[in-house]
Amino acid sequence: MALLLPHSVFLHIPKTGGMWVRQALLRSGLAKAELRHRQHAEGTLTAYPHCCKHTRVEDLDDHSIKGKMFFAFVRHPLSYYQSYWAFKMRTGWNHRDIFDQTFAHEDFSSFVRAVTSEKPGWVTSMYQAYLGNDRVHIIGKQETLAEDLIRALTEAGEMFDASIIRGTPKQNEAASLDSWREQCRYTPKLELAVRRSEQEALKVFEYF
């Protein structure tokens, strides 16, 4: 879900370190409210629908975001594939989700081959859906999460203690666990397939 701060809004793109960012913002006392999808902005929900979990700018109620600076994070497409697959292997595939229905594979290589051949530019397209409207002012990287968050908050004019940000414990690092790291390795051929499929994201976000 998007998170409202005094002067800015954090947009949570899946698998890009957003859980850590949310924790850092909560620890810093900057989180004012969760921003739900405009169709659920009013009333009380016992659970958050999928559309509220990862809202884009255009999904939000205009009144609540007027004058705010938006920031979000991306990650290298190669590690995105690893993180997504490892997360699904830990938690299970969502068989109500079309993507998971189509690309559920029990080994990483099969997953990557299927996605790059049948849905080329998967990560690129997702980033475009969140960031392609030019309303997101600051885009940080998961690889430099703490420093990029500090930069975003500073540019937005937020008041915070940088040491609290830097001291926030890591969250949800599924692909980095030893049990999955070995299963998420790329062969040269597999890495090339992802690089070709996601070449636009690699270029736009300067991943080399």
Give mean pLDDT, residues 170-196.
83
pTM over 0.85: yes
User: Which tokens sit at 156?
Assistant: 């937005």
What pLDDT sits at residue 53? 52
Q: Residue 116: CA atoms inside 13 Å, Cβ hemisphere, count?
A: 21
Query: Residue 102 is part of a domain; what is its CATH number?
Result: 3.40.50
Residue 196 near residue 48 (C-beta atoms within 8 A): no
**Residue 100 domain boundaries:** 2-204
Q: What is the dihedral of CA 17, 11, 72, 125, to 10 degrees?
A: 90
Structural domains of the chain, count:
1
45: pLDDT strictly greater than 90: no
49: pLDDT strictly greater than 70: no
Express each pLDDT in 119-150 by its tens digit.
Answer: 999 999 999 998 877 778 999 999 999 999 99
Residue 145 near residue 73 (C-beta atoms within 8 A): yes
Residue labelled with tokens 């990557």? 112
Give mean pLDDT, residues 103-118.
97
